[in-house]
Amino acid sequence: MVDRADINSVLSQLRQVRQQIQQPQEIDKLDKISGPQHLAGEVDKVQNQATNYPDIKADPNVPNFQAMFGNAINNVNSAQMHSASLSKRFEKGDPRVDLPEVMIAAQKASVSFDAMKEVRNKLVDAYKDIMNMPV
């Protein structure tokens, strides 16, 4: 017969994961974004070119794409780091870490990485389409 404590443990962990997913994520500030510096320079060039057109005004309600994308990358990175940390602790025999927790963290990291990879692929496709447009 299945031990009731194990089932209750798995159910409580699933509830915790559901709560974490439902909680809103805070957007990190731009200075916390880590990434290639040449991309930041390219973004600055585009923003400077946009200021040459005074008729076009930036909407302050529109979120900064660079900040949103950087936040998404940081979230994927933190999910992968958390998953790796939990699996190492489980492998070393830490009694506070159990297998369902490790597997859930690994799946969350995998799904978030796959989603980020798809976003990257769509951005590359959009860039290629724009570069192939006749001027």
Q: Give the model's pLDDT for residue 27.
A: 36
| C-alpha span between 79 and 67 (Å, rounded) | 18
How far is residue 8 CA from its own chain's centroid?
30
H helical segments located in 30-98:
37-50, 65-91
Please state the pTM of the whole predicted model: 0.53
pLDDT tens for the chain, 135 residues long, are 445 556 666 667 667 766 666 665 443 333 344 445 555 555 565 555 555 555 556 667 777 778 888 899 999 999 999 999 999 999 999 999 999 999 999 999 999 999 999 999 999 999 999 999 887
**Identity (one letter) of the amino acid at 130?**
I
- 3-class SS of residue 51: coil
| C-alpha span between 135 and 128 (Å, rounded) | 14
Neighbours of 105 (CB within 10 A): 22
